Amino acid sequence: MGVRTRFAPSPTGDLHLGGAWTALASWVVARREPGGAVVLRVEDIDPPRVVAGAEARIEQDLRWLGLDWDEGPARQSERTGLYLQAIEKLSALGLVYPCDCSRAELARSASAPHPGEELVYPGTCRALDPQRPMKRAPALRVRVPDEAVAYEDAVVGRVTQQLAREVGDFVLRRGDGVLAYQLAVVVDDAAMGITEVVRGGDLLQSTFRQLLVYRALGVEPPAWFHCPLVRDAEGRRLAKRHKALGLNELRNAGADPARLRQDSSHGTSRGAPTP
C-alpha cells in the first residue's frame, strides 16, 4: 500500500489559514508519491459543537484552494460502532474502568494544575469497584502504564512524555456518552490505513495518548509530521476566532488561491513537508 494521508477538519466553524496549511501539507505528502491517496474525514464526534453548514463550506474552500481527495468525506458521527468495539477490546484487556468524578472534584485534588494547564487525573477511581453505585453517569478511562512514551516525529525529532505523571488515566468516553478524540482518531486512522499523519504542532502532545491506544489495540501507528503553526503578525496562532483570516472570507474578498499556496511554503521548518 502506498502513502495515505488525511485531512480531518472539525465542522465547528469555517476553515482558517492554519487549517488550510495543514490540509495543503497533507495533500503534498500524498501527491508527491506515486499512488499516494488523500482521505477527507469530518471530525464531528461532539455534536453540540458542530456548526450547521460548516462542513459544506470547508469542502468548498478546499476545492477553491486547489486541493482534492480520493476518499471521503467520512464522518465520525457515522462510525460510533467502531469506537465502541475498540472500547470493548480494551475493556477485555482490563485497561478500562469507570470514573464518576466531576471536574470540580478533580480540580480540588492535590494533582490539579495551575489555571490554564491541563488537568492531571490523580487516579481516584482506578482501584475502586467498577460495580459500585455511581454518583453520576461515569466516564470511561484507560489505565496508563507508569513508563515513558516516546516516538520519532518527522519534523521535531524524538519526543518523550511521562504520560502517567503528566496526564494520568485519560478519558475514552465522557459521562454524556460522547467518544473521545484520542480514541476516535486512532480507530479511524487504523481503519483507513493512514500511513502519514500531517497536522499542526498544537496536537503534538495528543500523540502520546494516541500512541498508547495504538499499542493497546495492537495496531501499527503511522508516521507523524507536526507542522509549525501559522501565526499572525503579532505571533498569535491562527484559529477559528480570527474571522478575517478564514478561507471563506478570503475567497469572497477575491484572494488568489495560488498566492496562498505559495505563501504557505514559507512557514515550514526542518523536516516539514513543503508544497
What's residue 265's pLDDT?
A: 52
Question: Distance from CA of residue 153 to its chain's centroid?
Answer: 15
Question: Distance from CA of residue 73 to its chain's centroid?
Answer: 16
> CA 67, CA 166: separation in Å to the nearest integer?
38
Give the H or E element holding residue 56: helix 54-65
Parts of the chain belonging to CATH 3.40.50.620: 4-78+228-267
Q: Where are the beta strands (DSSP E) in 149-219?
A: 149-153, 157-161, 171-173, 196-200
Parts of the chain belonging to CATH 3.90.800.10: 94-173
CATH architecture classification, 94-173: Alpha-Beta Complex (3.90)
Query: What pLDDT digit, counting tens, does each position of 35-81 carry?
Result: 999 999 999 999 999 999 999 999 999 999 999 999 999 999 999 99
Count of beta carbons in the 10 Å neighbourhood of residue 25:
26
Query: What pLDDT digit, counting tens, does each position of 101-158 carry?
Result: 998 888 887 555 555 567 889 999 999 999 999 999 999 999 999 999 999 999 999 9
* Predicted model pTM: 0.88
Q: Given pLDDT bands bounded at 50, 70 and 90, which one contains residue 229?
A: confident
What's residue 239's pLDDT?
A: 57
Q: Which one-letter amino acid corresponds to residue 190? A: A
Active-site position among 89, 135, 240, 243:
240
* Nine cell digits for residue 204: 503534538
CATH topology of domain 4-78+228-267: Rossmann fold (3.40.50)
* Nine cell digits for residue 67: 486541493
> 243 an active-site residue?
no
What's residue 116's pLDDT?
A: 52
What's residue 244's pLDDT?
A: 47
What's residue 270's pLDDT?
A: 35
